């Protein structure tokens, strides 16, 4: 029995797929065109920049700002809550969903990387890949240069230090640093 699903359906299901599939390639080209428009929009044209961002991303909350340049795979699999701020150079590779809560602060050159690749050399050479989602809770701060890998959830109010590499889930209300990121401190929960 053969699998009749398209590569796009396989990608959306988090299964192995080929990224050079024509339908997936078209989605990527759409995102590249929108990224180019977003990154080239004059800083003072906040209305125009917001319009392009809303077309590029799956959802973007009120008062959220992303400073260009912004780089994504597809954009449509990224949702950002209200009151978020991402500094220059955000890379959000959204083969799988990237869900960002409200009031999240993202430092410069942060990378959110959902793609994964087979460890076995044969399928990797054949260009098969997959992805795992990333979930970032409310009021999280990702320090400059932090990297968050696919399959990771970060709890509310957590701080990830500059340059940290987050390879596994982090609970709410902690500070995590290093490579791989490890919890070094517990924070008092935010007052309601």
Rounded Cα–Cα distance for residues 120 and 47 (Å): 47
Q: For residue 191, what pLDDT band results from cuts at 50, 70 and 90?
A: low
Rounded Cα–Cα distance for residues 4 and 21 (Å): 14
Across the range 146-159, mean pLDDT stands at 98
* Token pair for 95: 């083969």
- Cβ distance 49 to 35 under 8 Å? no
Determine if the pTM surpasses 0.85: yes
- Cβ distance 72 to 55 under 8 Å? no
Q: What is the pLDDT of residues 124-152, one digit of tens each?
A: 999 999 999 999 999 999 999 999 999 99
Gyration radius (Cα) of the chain, Å: 17
pLDDT at position 2, please? 56
Handedness of CA 21, 22, 27, 30 (dihedral sign): positive
Q: Which domains does the chain have, with CATH numbers?
A: 7-186 (2.160.10.10)
Q: What is the pLDDT of residues 84-114, one digit of tens each?
A: 999 999 999 999 999 999 999 999 999 999 9
Rounded Cα–Cα distance for residues 141 and 156 (Å): 9
Beta-carbon contacts of 190 under 8 Å, excluding residues fewer than 6 positions away, are 139, 156, 157
The catalytic residues are 117
Residue 61 vs residues 81, 151, 170: alpha-carbon distances, Å: 4, 23, 24
Rounded Cα–Cα distance for residues 47 and 51 (Å): 6
pLDDT at position 189, please? 82
């Amino acid at each position: 029995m053969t699998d009749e699903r398209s590569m796009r359906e396989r990608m959306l299901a988090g299964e192995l797929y080929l990224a050079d599939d024509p339908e997936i390639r078209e989605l990527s080209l759409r995102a590249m065109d929108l990224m180019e428009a977003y990154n080239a929009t004059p800083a003072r044209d906040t209305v125009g920049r917001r319009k392009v961002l809303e077309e590029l991303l799956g959802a973007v909350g009120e008062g959220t700002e992303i400073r260009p340049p912004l780089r994504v795979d597809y954009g449509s699999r990224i949702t950002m809550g209200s009151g978020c701020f991402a500094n220059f150079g955000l890379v959000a590779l959204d083969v799988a969903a990237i869900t960002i809560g409200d009031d999240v602060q993202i430092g410069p050159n942060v990378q959110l990387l959902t793609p994964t690749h087979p460890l076995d050399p044969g399928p990797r050479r054949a260009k098969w890949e997959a992805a795992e989602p990333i979930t970032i809770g409310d009021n999280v701060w990702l320090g400059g240069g932090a990297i968050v890998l696919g399959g990771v959830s970060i709890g509310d109010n957590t701080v990830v230090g500059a340059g940290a590499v987050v390879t596994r889930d982090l609970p709410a209300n902690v500070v995590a640093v290093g490579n791989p990121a490890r919890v070094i401190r517990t924070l008092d929960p935010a007052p309601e």
